[in-house]
Structure 1
Amino acid sequence: MTERIAGPMFTRPEPRSTFGGLVRALLADVPRGRVMLEALVAGERNPNVLADLAKARLRGKMPQLIEALTGNFTDHHAYLCHTMLSNIDRITHQIDQLTARIEAELAEFAGDAVERLDEITGIGPRAAQVIIAEIGLDMSRFPPRHTWPPGPGWRL
């Protein structure tokens, strides 16, 4: 629906990279493209100034970036970008709050289990939290270790 309301973000008779495509690419990688999006929202429309804000890999593509930034970015597009960035900030804040609550609950319930599981190669803090949430801490429901198969390649 937003596409129908906003219309094309960039129209040009000859086929070139679209300004809308650039904005979608920047929104897909918000941490890197955020500075450029905020400058667009603030009213900056000079493609050279905007391209100078590029970071990391985008700096190696300056001519293409300047070409993509040359377009018709209106106040309406700035409003839509501002709305999207605000939503990203709001959701990020909620994720941070939920993460803090999960960590507090787990610290009370699981003690140092998350840290111990995190020591296993391939299991990070988030995976450790999921493991504890799924199977709990009571291992008595599982058969004793000596009844398990000896390892990979073992057959009956």
Structure 2
Amino acid sequence: MSRTPAGRHGPDPEWGRHETPEERADRRWSDLLQELRVAQTGVQILFGFLLAVVFQPRFTELSGTDRTIYVITVMLGSATAGALIGPVTYHRLLTGRRLKPQTVTWASRLTVLGLGLLFCTMCAALLLILRVALHNALALWLVGAMALWFLVCWLVFPAWALARAHGGRYG
């Protein structure tokens, strides 16, 4: 890292921004909050629907396997909500203690964990819904296909974009 005349730290000018660690933490925190707003809303809606299922008259007609899938899905949904709401607690409890870069790092890790749990929650919810709707083995295949699609959207496309960016920059 080079030091600029303005006193800011950062990488070489052609490769990135010149910002202090505090400025970088502020920017990364703002970006993380925007990402969390999208994820939290979806999780809260999904979790609300999951909680309502048990109070529906047809719930008693579910097989033991489907009830087990339901319980696992609700627990995954709870864990997902906890992980995706957790960064707010980090920020609130650590604000003003000069730990913003560390707070952003841990909040980012918790968010990645939450997104992994969201993947599991969505797959489990799909499995339950498709088992009830289809009553056959096609449900598992459809969930597998959708899980693959989630992985492509959430991991493969970003990895491909990163590889292209690095190939263009370094190649």
What is the TM-score of this pair, normalised by structure 2?
0.30
Select the structure of larger CA radius of gyration: 1
What is the TM-score of this pair, normalised by structure 1?
0.32
More helix by share: 2
